[in-house]
């Protein structure tokens, strides 16, 4: 199954206004926004979509606090879409709508959909590094930092589900949709990668009690750790509450910074994720703080030595 990863996450929310402002401040581009919702795009066209909680066009909610109503996966071509429809139709409803989007559910009751991908091909520079012992990645007199760095979300990276049965949930994605486990936290669940992307994961499953079932977080890729730090700092300065980070994960190696949100889940910035192919051997580790992150920072206000009397006194 040539599934590339999530194209869209569709949420049903009560407070359209605050969720709209949040996603715009996060860095997504608003399209067709109004009192009933809107679409919020990254640079490649992947998106978060907002709808009112009681919109009859949305899939049924899960009777938990979850506000994610559907995950729409992008696939490479129409033949992949047909293959998925044939596979899922064996034991569940798999309905094609008038826009060519295939709608179904996974074994945990999450609404999932599939479409020929909306992703636009990006051609953007990534962050560069100069280091002793290696040829410079930036030319002479080219600076790495500027105050007007855009630091915009480039592409929808991954989504994380709380599920009551991680093994059953994993089996559906691996056996029915061709996902591969790249790494696993024992006592929590697997990181899963579909066949159409080399990214370490586009789905992570965490086993929890049934009443918690839903979306734990989602994230978009940025152009590098500096962009992540800039975007996260700007977000904090707009008044949003940091939940976890900034730091760098062990599995996947991606830099991260998580924030609380009005969407009923956390929202992350990420950057510099590992990529893998079929020769990769999955690792396993017991879930712990050491296994979860290589390091973790605590953000402080900007400071300069000698900037005020207190700083001058501290210097003595």
Q: Where are the beta strands (DSSP E) in 155-277?
A: 155-163, 180-186, 189-193, 203-207, 214-221, 242-249, 255-259, 266-271
pLDDT for 308: 59
User: Does residue 85 belong to any structural domain of this protein?
Assistant: yes
CATH of the domain at 184: 3.10.180.10
Q: In terms of residue numbers, what domain contains 196?
A: 3-120+151-296
Name the pLDDT band for 234 (thresholds 50, 70, 90): very high
User: Does residue 303 belong to any structural domain of this protein?
Assistant: no
> What's the angle, vertex CA 237, arms to CA 263 and CA 158, rounded to 5?
40
The pLDDT of 225-237, averaged and rounded, is 97
Do residues 150 and 42 make contact, with C-beta atoms less than 8 angstroms apart?
Answer: no
Which of left, alpha, beta for 74 (phi over 0: left; psi -120 to 50: alpha)?
beta
User: Does residue 207 belong to any structural domain of this protein?
Assistant: yes
Q: What is the residue-averaged pLDDT of the chain?
A: 95
User: Does residue 92 belong to any structural domain of this protein?
Assistant: yes
pLDDT for 310: 52
Kindly state the tokens that stand for 90. Answer: 């064996």
pLDDT for 315: 47
Q: Is the pLDDT of residue 316 over 80?
A: no
User: Does residue 132 belong to any structural domain of this protein?
Assistant: no
pLDDT for 301: 87
User: Does residue 255 belong to any structural domain of this protein?
Assistant: yes
Q: Is the pLDDT of residue 295 over 50?
A: yes
Name the pLDDT band for 239 (thresholds 50, 70, 90): very high
Q: Can you tell me the distance from the alpha carbon of 185 to that of 161, in angstroms, rounded to the nearest whole number?
A: 14
User: Does residue 128 belong to any structural domain of this protein?
Assistant: no
* Model confidence pLDDT, tens digit, residues 255-285: 999 999 999 999 999 999 999 999 999 999 9
Structural domains in the chain (count)? 1
pLDDT for 302: 85
Tell me how far CA of residue 283 lies from CA of 165, 205, 206, 251, 277, in angstroms.
Answer: 20, 15, 16, 8, 14
What is the pTM for the complete model shown?
0.94
The pLDDT of 296-303, averaged and rounded, is 88
pLDDT for 311: 53
User: Does residue 70 belong to any structural domain of this protein?
Assistant: yes
Percent above pLDDT 90 for the chain:
91
């Amino acid at each position: 199954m040539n599934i590339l990863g999530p194209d869209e996450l569709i949420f049903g929310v009560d407070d359209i206004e605050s969720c709209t402002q949040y996603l715009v401040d996060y860095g997504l581009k608003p399209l067709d926004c109004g009192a009933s919702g809107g679409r919020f795009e990254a640079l490649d066209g992947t998106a978060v979509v907002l709808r009112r909680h009681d919109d009859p066009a949305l899939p049924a909610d899960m009777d938990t606090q979850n506000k994610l109503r559907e995950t729409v996966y992008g696939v490479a071509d129409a033949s992949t879409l047909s293959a998925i429809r044939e596979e899922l139709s064996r034991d569940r409803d798999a309905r094609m709508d008038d826009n060519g989007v295939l709608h179904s559910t996974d074994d945990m009751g999450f609404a999932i959909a599939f479409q020929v991908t909306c992703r636009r091909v990006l051609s953007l520079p990534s962050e560069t590094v100069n280091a002793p012992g290696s040829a410079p990645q930036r030319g002479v007199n080219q600076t790495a930092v500027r105050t007007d760095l855009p630091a915009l979300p480039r592409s929808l990276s991954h989504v994380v589900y709380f599920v009551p049965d991680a093994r059953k949930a994993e089996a559906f994605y691996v056996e029915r949709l061709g996902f591969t486990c790249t790494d696993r936290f024992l006592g929590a669940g697997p990181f899963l990668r579909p066949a159409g992307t080399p990214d370490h994961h586009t789905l992570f499953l965490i086993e929890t009690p049934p009443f918690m079932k839903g979306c734990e977080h989602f994230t978009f890729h940025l152009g590098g750790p500096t962009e992540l730090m800039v975007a996260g700092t700007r977000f904090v300065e707009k008044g949003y509450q940091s939940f976890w980070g900034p730091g760098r994960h062990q599995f996947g190696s991606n830099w991260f910074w998580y924030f609380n949100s009005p969407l009923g889940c956390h929202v992350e910035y990420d950057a510099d994720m590992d990529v893998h192919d079929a020769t990769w051997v999955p690792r396993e580790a017991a879930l712990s703080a050491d296994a979860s992150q290589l390091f973790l920072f605590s953000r402080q206000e900007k400071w300069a030595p000698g900037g005020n009397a207190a700083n001058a006194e501290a210097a003595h």
